[in-house]
Amino acid sequence: MQRFIFKNKNKLMVISGVLIALAFISKWASGNLTIFNLALIIASIIGAIPIALQAYQALRVKVISIDLLVTIAVLGAFIIQNFEESAIVTFLFLFGAYLEQRTLNQTRSAIKELVEMAPESALKQMENGEFEEVDVFDVDEGDILLVKTGDKVPVDGTVISGQGNINEASITGEAVPVEKEKDSKVFAGTILENGTIQVLADKVGEDTTFGKIIELVEEAQDSKSEAERFIDKFAKYYTPAVLVIAFIVWLVSKDVELAITILVLGCPGALVIGVPVSNVAGIGNGASHGILLKGSEVIHDFSRTDTIVFDKTGTLTIGNPEVSKTNYYSKDPSNALAYLASIERESGHPLAKAVLDEIGDIEFLPVENTEVVKGGGIIASVDGNRVAVGNIALMKDQGVDLSNKIKEDAKALEIEGNSLVLTAVNGKLELMMGIKDQIREGVKEDLARLKSLGVKNLIMLSGDNQGTVDVVSKELGLTKAHGNMLPEDKSAYVKKLKEEGKIVAFVGDGVNDSPSIALADIGIAMGSGTDVAIETSDVVLMNSDMSRLPHALGLTKATASNMIQNIVIAVGVVIFLLLSVIFSDWMNMSIGMLLHEGSILVVILNGMRLLRYKLR
């Protein structure tokens, strides 16, 4: 029976409203008070049933809810035979709940749209080589899938044949089609606008980038901020306090109607709903712009950030460095180049690809006894020779002679913003490569926007040499920049900033950034970065677009401000209503309930403004 009543609560509200309208029409048309009172009594009972049941369920778990206050108020109105107010109060309360639920559903539209974008089926290659349509949950890693024009990509995977343009708005927030060909990466939930491709499944189901986005947004919208926890605790004690105050008023004044009116007007409905609706709307806006805010607490902390620390490679720079210059220190560098290429082929360092691209086609040699020197480079045996590849610090540590000319060459390359890769064979320096990364387009403007949003310190930490770091820092107008930083140096620096009282956000993309991301007040990961960095972060920029960062900061500031506005509105209306009851003659229970429900609608609509937020 309870389930039936709750399921049809909106229908009961409509019936109650119709009966109230009929009551007043009959009174104005014929002056028949019997029909007037009967219709209002039935309307009151119909409206009070779901409210009383909710109050009962709350009492079962030892919670004195707003529903209990309204139920007692309706019973009191019946006792004093004020059926007009009891009917209007129940109708307005149900109507307010209906509006609240409807508008809250709209604030959750971002996650709803995401879920609707999720692929449901896939064309999977069977054992006979034919492609058959299967449920997306029947796809496993390693399966080959066919994606046709207009289809959703069902998995995260790699294109093995074909080409086409894919709309990746569900992942990046950008609707501009991205060209895909063999070896390109594709993501679940994106749409192939033209062409036909075959995809090798790398990640399926909840493990896909799209699956993780939905999971993270759902977790974020269900989380509670410090302000919400405080308000929940406040409401827990405030609601019984209103009940006690109303009882005391009745004892002192013997005015039942005044006591009942205080019960109705003291309900903290707008206060309870105001903060959650702001948080949900803010998180929803972020999701629709390719920004994952992992919870309400993140919004609170990020909005107060005064210091942002950046990794350089892959964050402020593109992360696709190229060799700009090579200096040779032997007559025949061919052997050294072969040794260098053989070592770099086995390296995962960002500069290794640039080195291999520069050397081109060459015969690779067996590499033995590889030793990785943290923050320095690699030492290995190649074709019977001891080869050291790395920075100047490694060369000095290995006793490699660095002449004045070599030092001058190194300084000149560093001044131009190059990272250095030196190669020594059997203790003698053979060659030096200067490798340069390009600054991300628009980053300088993005950093200026962050400053305009109140960020006082923009700091760069990099494992690169200080000369390269200084060049990038000067071009971007950073507050500070430190080079030659190991992962532990970066995290120690973040810890130092926090100890100085700064609220620190760290932006990075690699495994080596994870300790700093986890340690910072707000960890921000670039979406193209490693899974570890994304998992340990509080904010994810899904398409690694730095222009999302100012939007994210501006959004959290707007959300935090919106929460305060809603609290002020809610508290202000309650104070106004209670003072009006005590010091005026015009305030009654019906007018008070109308204003009370109006305040709930106002805070919801105010919170919903965040769905349309754009950084100016």
Question: DSSP state, 148?
Answer: -
Could you give the 3-state DSSP secondary structure of residue 176? coil
Mean pLDDT of the chain: 82
Q: For 322-436, which CATH superfamily applies?
A: Calcium-transporting ATPase, cytoplasmic domain N (3.40.1110.10)
In one-letter notation, the amino acid at residue 205 is: G
Report the alpha-carbon distance of residue 278 to residue 564 in Å, rounded: 10
pLDDT at 502: 94
Helix axes 589-608, 548-583, angle to 10 degrees: 170
**CB pairs under 8 A, 24+ apart, for 175-183?**
183/158, 183/159
pLDDT over 70 (residue 224)? no
pLDDT at 170: 62
CB of 469 within 8 A of CB of 489?
A: no
Helix axes 226-253, 66-79, angle to 10 degrees: 20
Report pLDDT digits (tens) over 480-497: 999 888 778 888 999 999
Q: Taking residues 567-575, what's their average pLDDT?
A: 86
Annotated catalytic residue within 156, 311, 509, 513: 311
Cα angle vertex 151, ends 150, 152, to 5°? Answer: 125
Its sign, for the CA torsion 301, 277, 592, 589, is negative
pLDDT at 352: 85
Q: Sketch the domain layout of the chain as residue ranges.
A: 140-203, 322-436
pLDDT at 395: 93
Q: Taking residues 255-281, what's their average pLDDT?
A: 75
Could you give the 3-state DSSP secondary structure of residue 39? helix
Report pLDDT digits (tens) over 11-28: 888 898 899 888 888 888
The strand pairing partners of 159, in sequence order, are 199
- DSSP E strands in 119-177: the ranges are 121-125, 131-135, 144-147, 156-167
Report pLDDT digits (tens) over 345-363: 887 676 788 898 888 888 8
Q: 10 Å Cβ neighbour count for 356?
A: 17
311 catalytic? Reply is yes
Cα angle vertex 152, ends 148, 154, to 5°? Answer: 105
Classify 390 in phi/psi space as left (phi over 0), alpha (psi -120 to 50) or beta: left
Could you give the 3-state DSSP secondary structure of residue 419? strand
Report pLDDT digits (tens) over 148-164: 988 889 998 999 999 88
Q: How confident is the model at residue 106 (pLDDT cuts 50, 70, 90)?
A: low
Helix axes 548-583, 443-452, angle to 10 degrees: 20
CA distances from 132 to 128, 138, 148, 190, 602 (A): 10, 11, 13, 20, 52
Q: Taking residues 48-59, what's their average pLDDT?
A: 84
Q: 10 Å Cβ neighbour count for 133?
A: 9
CB of 71 within 8 A of CB of 55?
A: yes
In one-letter notation, the amino acid at residue 509 is: D
Report the alpha-carbon distance of residue 522 to residue 518 in Å, rounded: 8
Report pLDDT digits (tens) over 507-520: 987 556 777 888 88
140-203: which CATH topology? 2.70.150
Question: DSSP state, 317?
Answer: B
